[in-house]
Structure 1
């Protein structure tokens, strides 16, 4: 009778200990998933404990003394015989293997433990309970991994559509976008939403919820930007997006056809610079005429002559970039400067080599703002619709800039800074900045100011113009062209 009472008491204690262990495992799993649970299991048993993926090698920090070989043999046996558990005795230790459960079509890992002999009582039962909890953790983590992969894949697809739109390949972009949603609108308004980089994923999701008909893309260049292409026929979304977070800014473009997505992005980016000075934290692009449009057919003819060596270039080797790739590289670099590596997904050395080749083909020094501005205007003029094209005599850049339309355009560009009260200091700062090829350090030296003070002055120029100057896409090309046109008109 006493023996039966003792046996019953030991069984009760074992059941109580097992229940405590299961609760402890659940708490560990809630804390940090499988990693936390494996740490708890190792501390609880004193054994070497790991999850080994199906077909994977034993970790480099695996057990010594031949246990790694036993684990490999055991994994092969489990797979070949479809066993639910296995124990293999070695020299002074025992290897215990328990496969986890997983969804159909998956290969869940195996819980492996190496314990010194003799094996502690209850270790097998503890591992079986742990395998049950680990299976649930692994299922949840596997599902989260698949979700993240899907999010990344969709993000890459959306980014690819954005690249196609930015390069004017609207038909191909629509075909790719057809597999996703929503459909691309024919007339758009482009938004750039700025927020802290760590909050971008959350803000992108909230933007997509707030504007179900909009095309939302995480900017491939700037980690603090979310890009939104919304139907122009729908409601304005500036206030909607700024209401999502207290620390976000929004820039919006004009209404534009889908083929002008690149223009819409530049407009929204410039509006974002103006939004930084607005209490409402949002701004819409204040439209000013584009020089290429103002010059029309004359600019298109000139651009065709300027870009002919680049567009007609045929690579000597199949792996080298052809003229089309070089044109896209030039456009990306002019828009994003050194960040073009992120936009084009190329190494900085590759970008440098391509820019050197472009300069040689066009006989330009792309370190000079003057030549950068010339190339920028040529690319924009070359992209004009067919009704702006004509045949005729090509003109030099200075010939174009002395035309009345160009001079009128130039005065419109510079009027905000020149008509501002006490604007002499800002106008001089801008002039020196442009004369120093848009470089901050030499500009500060020429003005006998610190770099910080110079940057603040240029930021004030940004606010006055309502355009981005220090960060690309930058208005510095248009400002250089405008100052050149005014100088020529004044007889300089």
Structure 2
């Protein structure tokens, strides 16, 4: 008997090491022929194993749980009809209500059942506590990730103060000036990089990208004392791990969205380079280039949305509509994941936005105008050159009037300059022009050029390499390219020769 009991205890230990709580319960059930499971302290279900489906057995289990709780017992045995129920409390020194080891068997129960259950208590207590600790760690990691995603969502939406308030629950605190790093690569390599960042840069904020599963986002303060310096974790070891990293310029925390766009464009350049790491180097934002005039135009453009009042409490307000538009222009269909809403909700909000602004968001012209208006509104643009401003009593300029400003035309020329460099194949520039004219749709572009879809994709990839900007994967530079193309058209043609544009785009 003593040798048999020792063998049983060893078998339960082996089952616990191999498969945890569930494996020990299965071994007990097979050894005794009883229904063995862990019951919730309230007696209303099983925490592990299967709760009996028989009504009599269920009632018996609830009576046993109630008896143990009410009388403060460590174990209880209750008989009813041809069934007997054993209830034992697992050990737990953490002040939690531990589950109850419960066995329901037909009478007479196997004589070794009480001893086996008593021996199993200590083993199941350890396996349950270990599994509960793992579940708690997982919940904490999930809560941490979702909180960081929420902070990122607030930062991308320009709600800096709210983001800082939420971030105070975590560490580190958000720095006032940051650089955004977008990391692309295998999951194992990104995990290893996360550990290196955590060990070497305590001020860095690490956020798994809520839109792209293969991206990791890092917000970190600029390296002190270096105008173009990179932290050790970014400049060493990334290439060996198969990672590619795009780095933004230093930006203020309220310009996190701009930093993300810059880092994404830099990542596109890194994909085509050999160093696997690229820092953004580009022209100023178009809204800043235009100057104060763009603010007046943006206010007039967005006024139908800003003055909108939802008819029902569950309908989106103006702030939600503008945030949805910003995210959609940045991430396209990935905006639903970015905003943590259903794709049908995204579609409904975009339809409502189109109705308010009288736009057709399938047209690149309307998308580009909306993108510029939102950037100008978010940036609180002031005049850079003194041109394009609006004095008191002056009418609000149209978008065409802003794009026709001399310094904007110069900006537009610089956007396409890399495509016109010596040695660049002529079809690349022509493909970009046709692609922009056809609302950045690859299929119609291939048809118009009488080439295959794959040929168009290759030319776009070549243009992406030359421009060092993302073209086909959001966030893209497509809206800036359309506006630049429009500015060049305005500079090169007489107004009567220009194609017609919607009032929302060409007018105030």
Give the TM-score taking structure 2 as reference length. 0.88
Aligned to 1:320: 315
Matching of residue 135 in structure 1 with residue 120 in structure 2: no
Query: Residues 196 and 233 of structure 2 are in contact (CA less than 8 Å); yes or no, is this contact kept in structure 1?
Result: no
| 68 and 231 in structure 1: CA distance in 2 versus 1, 3 angstrom threshold | same
Q: Which residue of 2 aligns with 1:100?
A: 90
Do residues 298 (structure 1) and 288 (structure 2) align?
Answer: no
Contact 2:189–2:242 (Cα < 8 Å) also in 1: no
Which aligned pairs between 1:257-296 and structure 2 lie closer than 5 A?
257-296=252-291
Distance 2:43 2:457 in 1: 54
> Cα gap change, 1:426/1:56 in structure 2, threshold over 3 Å: closer, same or farther?
farther
1:238 shift after superposition: 7.2
SS across alignment from 2:367 = helix
Give the paired residue count: 479
What is the rounded CA distance, in whole Å, between the counterparts of 2:156 and 2:187 in structure 1?
A: 23
2:439 counterpart residue number: 437
Q: Which of 425, 431, 439 does residue 427 from structure 2 map onto?
A: 425
**Distance (whole Å) between structure 1 residues aligned to residue 6 and residue 456 of structure 2:** 69
Partner secondary structure for residue 115 of structure 1: strand
Counterparts of 1:80-95 in structure 2, within 5 Å, are 80-95=70-85
Q: 1:318 to 1:232 in 2, by over 3 A?
A: same
Q: Which of 413, 419, 429 is the equivalent residue of 1:411?
A: 413
> Gaps spanning 5+ residues in structure 2: where?
384-388, 499-508
Taking structure 1 as reference, are residues 44 and 461 closer, same or farther at Cα in structure 2, changes over 3 Å only?
A: farther
Counterpart for residue 221 of structure 1 = 211
- Match in the other structure for 2:386: none
Deviation string 1:46-71 (CA, Å, 9 cap, x unpaired) is 22221122225346762537222211
What RMSD over aligned residues (CA atoms) do the two structures have, in Å?
2.3
Mean Cα deviation higher: 359-368 or 117-126:
117-126
- CA distance in 1 between counterparts of 2:449 and 2:7 reads 74
Displacement of 1:201 in angstroms is 5.7
Aligned residue for 2:103?
113
Whole-angstrom distance in 2 between the partners of 1:52 and 1:478: 62
1:336–1:311 distance in 2 versus 1, CA, 3 Å: same
| C-alpha contact 2:185 2:244 (8 A) present in aligned 1 | yes
Check conservation: 1:238, 1:282, Cα contact below 8 A: no
Answer with 176-185 or 211-220: which moved more: 176-185
Quote the Cα distance in structure 2 between the aligned partners of 1:445 and 1:86: 79
Q: Which residue of 2 aligns with 1:368?
A: 363
Give CA deviations for 1:413-459 in whole Å, capped at 9, x if unaligned: 11112225242222232223222222233333334444444333322
Runs (4+) of structure 1 moved beyond 6 Å?
A: none
| Structure-to-structure mapping, 1:67-86, within 5 angstroms | 67-86=57-76
CA distance 1:39–1:247, change in 2 (3 Å): farther
Residues of 1 paired with 2:446 and 2:23: CA distance?
54
Give me the TM-score of the superposition, normalised by structure 1.
0.90
**1:168-198 deviations in Å (ceiling 9; x for gaps):** 2223322332332212212211111123357
The structural deviation recorded for 1:296 is 0.6
How do residues 327-476 of structure 1 correspond to structure 2 at under 5 angstroms? 327-385=322-380, 387-388=382-383, 390-391=390-391, 392-419=394-421, 421-476=423-478
Q: Kindly indicate whether the alpha-carbon contact (under 8 Å) linking 1:300 and 1:382 is maintained by their aligned counterparts in 2.
A: yes
Q: Which runs of 5+ in 1 are unaligned?
A: 1-13
